[in-house]
Amino acid sequence: MDYYTLLTVIIILPLTLLLFRRRRNHLLPPGNYGLPLIGETLQLISAYKTENPEPFVDERVARFGPVFTTHIFGEATIFSADPDVNRYILQNEGKLFECSYPGSISNLLGKHSLLLMKGSLHKRMHSFTMSFVNSSIIRDHLLVDIDRLVRFFLASWSDRVLLMEEAKKITFALTMKQLMSFDPCDWTESLRKEYLLVIEGFFTIPLPFFPTAYNRAIKARTKVAEALTLVVRERRKESEQGERKDDILGALLKEEVEGGRFSDEVIVDFLVSLLVAGYETTSTLMTLAVKFLTENPLALAQLKSEQENIRALKGDNEALVWADYKSMPFTQCVINETLRVSNLIGGIFRRTTSDVQIRGYTIPKGWKVFASFRAVHMDDQHFKDARSFNPWRWQSDTGSTCSPGVFSPFGGGPRLCPGYEIARVSVSVFLHHLVTKYSWEAAEEDKLVFFPTTRTQKRMPINVKRRVASM
């Protein structure tokens, strides 16, 4: 055998056999693997850094169908733009699929974070969280503080504000109150500063040996955890003396008594993960609702008139109550439409725990899948003229009665976001006070981008004018 034949035998033959075997055992969805190692990651990122990321998915769906194979973030990945497949993935959480995050993320969240928990502990913590932020708890306990804190922060606005920053202050304060009964003070503000560094760490790439944003984030996370551990210990003591505050930490300490003790670390990781969950997404939702309303004067006028009617029946400083929240149908349409168009959670990554059959394909065990909610929300098949902001679509039957799995801004299945209702209530209260107390205009043009997270490039600067004297 000459050299080349040898080469062929050594390299090409095993490769062909390998490919052939893969074909025979697993019929994978069609698709592109892109370049070696980086795959199609760069195409994906550059698409999501623009206001219109849809072509990335559109092109692949047109060529390969709604379930295709790609290679992103270092791994071959099955991408689903199909609502039935997405629903199947959500419903089979913990059976055929499990959540999967890179190590850099789990270090920041803490290993006992709700996002990373599995099995029966996850079940217990998830249903605990659900029951603590369900609608009757919001109605009877949380709403009064939401209303008070939103008004407190809005009262200090004048002239030009960076809406995204202001919204973050509000949602941080709401979350601190709900978790641990803290009102805004120097302590919460310094915790928030550390916490901002932690959040930044989620969107940076960890490099060993270099003092990067990621290392800063890890340090900040340690500080946040230390501060919260002190709070937990203090509250344990109080609780053993029979003093119980009516907040999530209090409920957790009570739940302990009934269902077995949690370590400080478990409680702290849990608090950190709820802070992450409650803070970033809800503040972005507030900001984007205002952005879309600013760009749609008709929608703004209708929302304003709905909120003014509610205010007209109340005193200037009277707090909103549950019945008020329940009489904002158009505002709810605006919130749904903001959720649909902005796709704060664009989808979820999962890993298969065994070979999984989907639509005649076999996804091998251990593979990554991405259920894209965004692709479904942006699909004309499911929402007429899907790529325009149209809150009125939710008034017609077609908007609000779409088949299950089609509109899933909060995910679903065993990992449904427990905060779906409290996010809605917080944004509704915020919009109420904003439109009844202020008028505003965009101070600069600002663009929406979707990578690394959904946000506007300039944090949404607006010029505000006070409408009423008394706040």
If residue 401 lies in a helix (H) or strand (E), which one and from where to where? none
Question: For ligand NAG, which is the closer residue by CB, 110 or 278?
Answer: 278
Question: For ligand NAG, which is the closer residue by CB, 106 or 135?
Answer: 135
The letter for the amino acid at 193 is: K
> How many C-beta atoms surround the C-beta of residue 263 within 10 A?
10
In this structure, what DSSP letter does residue 211 have? -
Q: How far apart are CA 32 and CA 30, in angstroms?
A: 7
Closest chain position to ligand NAG (CB) = 400
Question: For ligand NAG, which is the closer residue by CB, 25 or 400?
Answer: 400
Cα dist from 403 to 172, 340, 385, 407, 408, whole Å: 34, 15, 17, 8, 11
361 Cβ neighbours under 8 A, 6+ residues apart: 26, 27, 28, 29, 67, 78
Peptide bond into 414 cis (omega under 30): no
Residues of this chain that interact with ligand NAG (CB under 6 A) are 131-132, 134-137, 332-333, 336, 394, 399-400, 407
Q: How far apart are CA 181 and CA 57, in angstroms?
A: 44
Question: For ligand NAG, which is the closer residue by CB, 132 or 430?
Answer: 132
Question: Least CB distance from residue 410 to ligand NAG, whole Å?
Answer: 7
- Name residue 350's beta-bridge partners: 99, 369
Question: For ligand NAG, which is the closer residue by CB, 70 or 454?
Answer: 454
The letter for the amino acid at 118 is: K
Question: Least CB distance from residue 406 to ligand NAG, whole Å?
Answer: 10
Question: Least CB distance from residue 40 to ligand NAG, whole Å?
Answer: 31
Whether 213 and 200 have beta carbons less than 8 Å apart is answered as yes
Question: Least CB distance from residue 133 to ligand NAG, whole Å?
Answer: 9
Question: For ligand NAG, which is the closer residue by CB, 332 or 428?
Answer: 332
Question: Least CB distance from residue 49 to ligand NAG, whole Å?
Answer: 28
Question: Least CB distance from residue 407 to ligand NAG, whole Å?
Answer: 6
Question: For ligand NAG, which is the closer residue by CB, 141 or 465?
Answer: 141
Q: How far apart are CA 293 and CA 363, in angstroms?
A: 42
> How many helices and strands, by DSSP H and E, does the chain display?
20, 12
Whether 425 and 447 have beta carbons less than 8 Å apart is answered as no
Q: How far apart are CA 359 and CA 30, in angstroms?
A: 12
Question: Least CB distance from residue 286 to ligand NAG, whole Å?
Answer: 17
Question: Least CB distance from residue 298 to ligand NAG, whole Å?
Answer: 17
Question: For ligand NAG, which is the closer residue by CB, 171 or 336?
Answer: 336
